[in-house]
Structure 1
Amino acid sequence: MERRTNPSGETPSLQQPISAGIIACVVGYTSSFAVVLTGLAAVGASPTQAASGLLALCAVQAVGTLWLSRRHRMPIMLAWSTPGAALLAGMATVDGGWSAAVGAFILVGVAYVITGLWPALGRLIAKIPAPIAQGMLAGVVFGLCVEPVRSLVDNPGAIVPIVLVWLVGVRLMPRWAVPAAFLTAGIVIGIDMIRRGEGIAGSDLLPSLALTSPTLSWEAVVSIALPLYLVTMASQNVPGVAIMKAIGYDVPWRDSIVTAGVTTIAGATGGAHSVNLAAISAALVAGPDAGPDKSRRWIAGQAVGWTYLVLAAASIAVAALVEVAPSGVIATIAGLALLGTLALAIESSMAQPKGREAAVVTFLVAASGITAWGVGSAAWAILAGLFVYAVLSWSPKGGR
């Protein structure tokens, strides 16, 4: 790696970009892996297949991040779609089961590739009224966010310590609040295993992929592929580019979105639901925390990629721990992880007077969890929101 000196003649340290990349990756992983496992299980994955999906996501994200950050000398970071995983968590198994869900994941990856090669499609997605996009996101994560409340009533002995640690974390170190809650959950799970005299077999801790042959069904296309594509584009890819631009990096749209699509396709048969540009965590690897020299912050992207590979190897063990968790523990971690997303989505959907009614309708339909004619609530929420928005925005020709 090329070594350069700053104007004072000193060789810049690699410590800042490397540590920033590792922290961004570990925080992102521990803050939302429970949402991913919950989402994959909801659309039909067995525990083994869900664990495989977590491993596949880490592996393909690593390759994509290493490629993009080195090729463009920018701290470009790929991540899994946490809103997309939350969307899946609010669904039920569609016609065709897990294999149809995998087919939908591949279709989402193909849609990303087309979007990257055809920028007009990306601009069209960006024109979806913000109240509708954010209202749908708020609706799909709402169900998960109330789980800590239910779990607290059903299993207070296991849940109270987790919630207290999270609350203290939010007060003292917000970035680490959910990872600290996960660590506490690990202790709770360990104590419960000792109490029950159970353990985890060594073979259950070894990394392994469970490949699934994809199929497609109409329900999977409409209920999984379409909402997953829209929510990820609106809440991850488009904001991810905007955040990087605000920091001072002009992210190459075509290369980034096509790479996200290719990696999604590559990981889909292993259970990866969606890979996209990082949004919030992008600020950790592209901002001042990664060092004063912007031209060297791409090294943080390299650190992210290699850390993903380490976490990929550990993903099966993490999923095995999740599998033996007491009732409500993992639902609590997932709900706490999404509280910030819910708050931001509600705030964004209500920010402007125009579109508030459409946002509320979108939220209610998405949160209802309804399924009609094989189509899930997220797809109906988009249609309902767009219809209400169009009706309330319409004026006679020439009117004002």
Structure 2
Amino acid sequence: MTAEVEAAVAEAFRQEWGRIVAALIRVTGDWDLAEECAQEAFALALERWPRDGLPHRPGAWLTTTARNRAVDRLRRRTTEAAKLREVATMASVHNAFGSSEDDSGVQDDRLRLIFTCCHPALPLEARVALTLRTLTGMTTAEIARAFLVTEATMAKRLVRAKGKISNAGIPYRVPPAHLLPERTGAVLAVLYLLFNEGYSASTGADLMRWDLCAEAIRLARLLARLMPDEPETYGLVALMLLHHSRRATRVDAAGDLVTLDHQDRTRWNQGEIDEGVAVLETALRRDRPGPYQLQAAIAACHATVADAADTDWAQIAELYGQLVRVVPSPVVKLNQAVAVAMADGPAAGLELVETLHASGDLTGYHLLPATRADLLRRLGRRTEAAEAYREALALAPTEAERRYLANRLAETTLQGED
């Protein structure tokens, strides 16, 4: 198999997986069948494209192949009249995989998939996990890492969620307008996790997957148009745009991680920054601040200063204080500790980090020992810092982050104890 074919299949997976699976689910109503047929289509691509050459439209080839597999599976599965009618329906929608409006007027299968996964009958974490599994093709292990749980635990959640959708007859559609609010929180969480998986990939050689970021932003814009009176949808769009504006500077030419304070701010995307700030102002005018608006305000503090030295860390620490009161998660508390360390000194930040460390809430999360190591280094406690860097290095999920931590460990070890 040529490198060209491997690259083409990998790119098609990133671009087409969610669309193919969402369309198959819409047509068949069978979640497992949709995933299996999509997987078979990609497997056939790996087998046939080296022999036959790359198709002119890889996405269309994969969609047709997956659909045909689904039809064959349904024909073999049963001869009941209901299933035969389903097969006939599928055959009649030969080119209908792009979209099919429901009562909401939304023509995007992937957004309908998110709302289906986020039905209130499902537990919140199951809603998010199931959407990530079906929409992005993330493995169960990758989703488990995002939720800081074991792979076995996440596998059980996914099976239960699919079973609940099937047994309860949850419809595959965007709900009517009066039912949208009850799913908003979970839908926003799904989109943000999708963006984060692209912005800081959970595994692999690449730190970032821009295709996932772009898809999350596209869907968030669509959601904002669907729910124009919900300020948190605008807050999420603003947050994504402000983070995305830095994409060109997060790694160097060698693929190594570049921290925020060392990024070349002249290369940040000013258009996205301006749009993000404007969208945030639109949200804040609703006077109903929420967690995504607060996070976007923090991101704006970074994005709107030309020099890292001019960052208003006191303001950022204050915003994190508000965010912790709204979302008292251990990850938010860790980010608050970083901001406090920058505003009030490393000792103040380390005190908060040590409390988190003692709680055990972030066990296995590499950024906890990495943050602890950095603060210990700044305080001159380099032996302890080196131990913490080693712990972080063992937990880091991507090669770029491992290289960064290895370099910091080497620097700390060479400097020795002050």
Same fold? TM cut 0.5: no
TM-score, length-scaled by structure 1: 0.26
Whichever of the two has the greater Rg, that structure is 2
Structure number with higher relative contact order (C-alpha < 8 Å, ≥ 6 residues apart): 1
TM-score, length-scaled by structure 2: 0.26
